[in-house]
Amino acid sequence: MTEGRGAALGRRLAERDLAAAPEALNLLESSASGDSADRSDLLRATSPGALGQEPPGYVVGITGPPGAGKSTLISAIVKELRAEDKSVAVIAVDPSSKRSGGALLGDRARIDFDPADRDLLIRSMAAGDRLGGLARPTRDAAAALSAAYDFVVVETVGVGQSETEISEVADTVCVVVQPASGDTLQFIKSGIMEIPDVLVVTKSDLGQIAQRARRDLNAALRSLGAKHTSVVAVSAAPPATGITELLDAVEEHRERSDIAAGRSERRKSQALEEFADEYGRSGLSLLGGRREAGKELSSLDPSLDVPGMVVELARRAGIALP
């Protein structure tokens, strides 16, 4: 039997063939109905069930308000990881062009990288009408690329306090704030303060102002009972400082996390969302409502890919499948 496009791309990613990544992303971003089966095949080939384990790459989310220095920080992170000979994929979710619907490439243009580096991929995705800071294919892209790259860095569009979707994608979430900007107070008051695994205070070269922001954030975390959230001060402007400490904080979070369980829960959440989008309220009612649908998902093999979970839910709901 001839191997289809999606299955072939997924197999190449699973074999850590980084040259397959751009075409794989093109497929995942495609909205053409004829590409649906190939997208599912690609995701199936890079799923834990196919790999026999969770994809080895680690997904780091970078979020925060516009102007906080996310892109400059990512440039420094990429430089440090490449110096350690780690392969890196960066997904920069950019604002959409109102004319074309495509990404405006603002964040990607601000990331400093070597275009000749074969072990580094930087890709922009248009946010579209999403309010959570991510593009629709971002979750699939991060999952697929983590089969091939050592690190996948996802940068959100920078819309402020609504960017909580990143916690549904990343293994470690880094929230970036800049001192003397009002970010500290706003984050203490908002829901986004509940999602970071690492808080990153930028522009540490400002001295006392940056240290004050760091103390305020530490105090806020204590008041919330967030004992394991790290606060790291960095200066991403050359010569960058604090980047090693930031990556150490990410590694510490990685070591104390149950990565497989976290990813499994995120896949179930995504599958429930996609099932509801595909079959609507009537589909959920066939399963007894959203809560019962969640229970059905909990009984499934945790290594299933998202499309497989959606198909299984449809079968249990008695929905005729093509």
Residue 171 in this model has a pLDDT that exceeds 50:
yes
For the chain, give the percent of residues with pLDDT over 70.
85
pLDDT at 100 over 60: no
Cβ within 8 Å of residue 4, ≥6 positions away: 37, 38, 41
36 contacts: CB under 8 Å, gap ≥ 6: none
Rounded mean pLDDT of 7-24?
Answer: 98
Angle (nearest 5°) at CA 38 between 89 and 284 = 95
Is pTM beyond 0.85? Reply is yes
Q: What mean pLDDT is predicted for residues 94-101?
A: 48
How does the average pLDDT of the chain come out, rounded? 86
Domain residues of the chain, as ranges? 1-53, 58-255, 258-322
Cross-strand pairs, 172: 60
Confidence of residue 103 (pLDDT cuts 50, 70, 90): very low
**pLDDT at residue 95, rounded to an integer:** 62
* CATH fold of the domain at 58-255: Rossmann fold (3.40.50)
Which pLDDT band holds residue 219 (cuts at 50, 70, 90)?
confident
Q: What are phi and psi of 33, to 5 degrees?
A: -60, -30
